[in-house]
């Protein structure tokens, strides 16, 4: 057992009984990661902010989720859609890492690579690193996802899943019959046994499930060789990066958003992974001290896809206008997004979870046409002010929202490139948000293109 000693300075050190080395217990990493997370229910425009920062990045990582997420980045006249790939792949000098916390559908990944290569992105495969500990999404997981959703539909309990197989794959992982990429590129006979066992377990639960085992095994034998050059021990790699004596700019790109986190979101209308800042540690295998700034991305209004409570939802003309002007349709599913006023009760709650250093507010320009704009600042139930964001969805469905009503600016702000260029009503809108949250707004999105962003120093 190691001995603990006290140095004269009062700092605690540990003497390792095996090697005799003295290691400061408070040892700091050389390079901390900048984390970018969604502050609402997703689709906030995280990819655009990641792309903005990734120009200077050495490493961009994803740590959770699968190809149920979707980011759109517009460069010039080209629009890139990313689902599994980190948005940093656009930067030719940046390494992109798919961490152990992700679930990976290999056919979908290679399809995504091919489509983006066809749009002019070259060298992606050489810059992409995939964790050997990431779990595999199989077509059978996607079939099961659909069967489960249909079953819930009969009971009027549908969750609005993307049917990409993400939930069933995480379920396989948690029940310890999942299959990792290390299994695929390792002993193929052992992989075959595991796959057949996976099929057997799912067919017991879903007798109508059809899987051509031989065809799948033949396909994955080829995929194993295609993915092999990209696979590494990313836990070791990430710890090399954070402890590199040379400065390294590391970005962690969150998928989905805090209100879709399986523990902290509006459960069960959530995703199947932890998409708050804690998921960075488990999804990449890095220590807590590796986290530096945490930037929350918040849309200037609120959207969500699928079912679930939405206190500030606008179901009439204004909501339809936001949906149309904001092109609020899912990148992955093309489903229309529900729209509502900015809900700062939600953002305060996710700030509690993530501890934002600053915010990026996207799509402020979508509010250009409105005479007046509302911001939700508190919830009440039966006249009583609620202290916190409720876990009980029946209560959340019944809350009344307290709003601040502000005058709209009624002009096009897309040409603004400095904070002072914005009309006073838009400045007021941002300042109210900052005052309510106690968090500065550092970036403001005023259009769809890559450079339609105001950065405040």
Catalytic residue among 43, 58, 261, 343: 43
Catalytic residue among 71, 83, 135, 141: 71
CB 128 within 8 A of CB 92: no
Backbone angles phi, psi at 406, to 5 degrees: -120, 155
Give CA–CA dist 299/351, Å, rounded.
15
Pick from 288, 291, 243, 252: nearest CA to 98: 252
71 an active-site residue? Answer: yes
Residues 6 or more apart whose CB falls under 8 angstroms from that of 408 comprise: 367, 368, 369, 370, 371, 372, 373, 425
Pick from 10, 53, 7: nearest CA to 33: 53
43 an active-site residue? Answer: yes
Count CA atoms closer than 13 A to 27's CA, side-chain side: 11
Residue 161, token pair as written in the block: 């899943």
Give CA separation, 369 vs 175, 326, 426, in Å: 51, 12, 12
Pick from 343, 347, 352, 361: nearest CA to 402: 343
CB 156 within 8 A of CB 129: no
Residues labelled as active-site residues: 43, 71
């Amino acid at each position: 057992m190691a001995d603990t000693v006290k140095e004269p300075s009062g700092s605690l050190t540990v003497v390792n009984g095996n090697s005799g080395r003295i290691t400061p217990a408070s040892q700091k990493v050389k390079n901390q990661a900048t984390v970018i997370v969604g502050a609402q229910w997703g689709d906030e425009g995280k990819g655009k902010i990641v792309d903005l920062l990734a120009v200077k990045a050495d490493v961009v990582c994803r740590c959770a989720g699968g190809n149920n997420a979707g980011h759109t980045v517009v460069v010039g006249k080209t629009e890139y859609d990313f689902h599994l790939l980190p948005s940093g792949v656009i930067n030719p000098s940046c390494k992109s890492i798919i961490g152990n916390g992700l679930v990976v559908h290999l056919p979908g990944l290679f399809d995504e690579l091919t489509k983006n290569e066809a749009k002019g992105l070259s060298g992606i495969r050489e810059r992409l690193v995939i964790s050997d500990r990431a779990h595999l999404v199989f077509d059978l997981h996607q079939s099961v996802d659909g069967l489960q959703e249909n079953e819930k539909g009969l009971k009027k309990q549908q969750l609005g899943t993307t049917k990409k197989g993400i939930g069933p794959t995480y379920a396989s992982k948690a029940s310890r019959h999942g299959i990792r990429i290390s299994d695929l590129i390792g002993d193929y006979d052992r992989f075959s046994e595991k796959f057949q066992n996976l099929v057997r377990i799912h067919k017991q639960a879903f007798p109508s499930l059809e899987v051509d085992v031989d065809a799948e095994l033949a396909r994955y034998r080829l995929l194993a060789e295609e993915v092999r050059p990209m696979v590494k021990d990313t836990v070791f790699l990430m710890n090399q990066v954070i402890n590199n004596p040379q400065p390294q700019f590391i970005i962690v790109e969150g998928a989905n958003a805090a209100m879709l986190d399986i523990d902290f979101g509006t459960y069960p209308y959530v995703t199947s992974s932890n998409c708050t800042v804690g998921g960075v540690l488990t999804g990449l295998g890095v220590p807590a001290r590796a986290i530096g700034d945490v930037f929350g991305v918040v849309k200037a209004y609120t959207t969500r896809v699928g079912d679930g409570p939405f206190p500030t939802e606008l179901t009439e003309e204004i909501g339809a206008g936001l949906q149309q002007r904001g092109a609020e349709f899912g990148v992955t599913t093309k489903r229309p997004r529900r729209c509502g006023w900015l809900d700062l009760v939600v953002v305060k709650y996710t700030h509690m979870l993530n501890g934002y250093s600053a915010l990026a507010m996207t799509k402020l320009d979508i509010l250009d046409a409105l005479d007046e704009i509302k911001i939700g600042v508190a919830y009440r139930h039966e006249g009583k002010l609620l202290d916190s964001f409720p876990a009980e969805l029946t209560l959340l469905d019944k809350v009344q929202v307290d709003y601040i009503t502000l005058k709209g600016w009624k002009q096009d702000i897309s040409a603004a490139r400095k904070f002072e260029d914005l009309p006073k009503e838009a400045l007021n809108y941002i300042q109210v948000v900052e005052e309510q949250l106690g968090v500065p707004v550092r970036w403001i999105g005023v259009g769809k293109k890559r450079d339609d962003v105001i950065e405040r120093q």
